Amino acid sequence: MIEAGILLLLCQLAGESLVRALDVPVPGPVLGAVFMLAFLAVRRGVPDNLGRTSHDLLANFSLLFVPAGTGIILHAARLEAEAVALIAALIGSTALTIAVAALVFVGVDRLMGGTEPAA
């Protein structure tokens, strides 16, 4: 279990280090997850101790939401006062994300030689 925890932390450390060294606009943990994926692909599977450790971490994942829940309760009055702006931002950003994803899909489809969509 210790070895698996060290491996997880090393992947995250490698991701953080590379992001800071190269100043790339990607979160370090995301790059660390890519390193872990590469490790698992090279190994062609998940080692038993890493699987057990990951399972144990995910079983207690809900504990990470306690600080967020506490913050929501602490700032409930402010959230209520700014509810309209928050809802507008959520709806707007969701719509923008869907539109950008659709445009990227169409662009990649054209680059890959796909057919034009029917009108």
Q: Is the pTM of this model over 0.85?
A: no
Q: pLDDT higher for 44 or 117?
A: 44
What pLDDT does 62 receive?
Answer: 87
pLDDT 10s digits, 23-73: 989 999 999 999 999 999 999 989 898 999 989 988 988 888 888 889 889
Q: Is the pLDDT score of 117 beyond 70?
A: no
What pLDDT does 113 receive?
Answer: 85
Token pair recorded at residue 106:
């169409």
Task: Say how many C-beta atoms besides its own lie within 10 A of residue 46's C-beta.
Answer: 14
Token pair recorded at residue 30:
């995301």
One-letter amino acid at 88 equals A
pLDDT 10s digits, 79-115: 999 999 999 999 999 999 999 999 999 999 989 887 6
CA distance 13 to 2: 16
pLDDT confidence tier of residue 118, bands split at 50, 70 and 90 = low
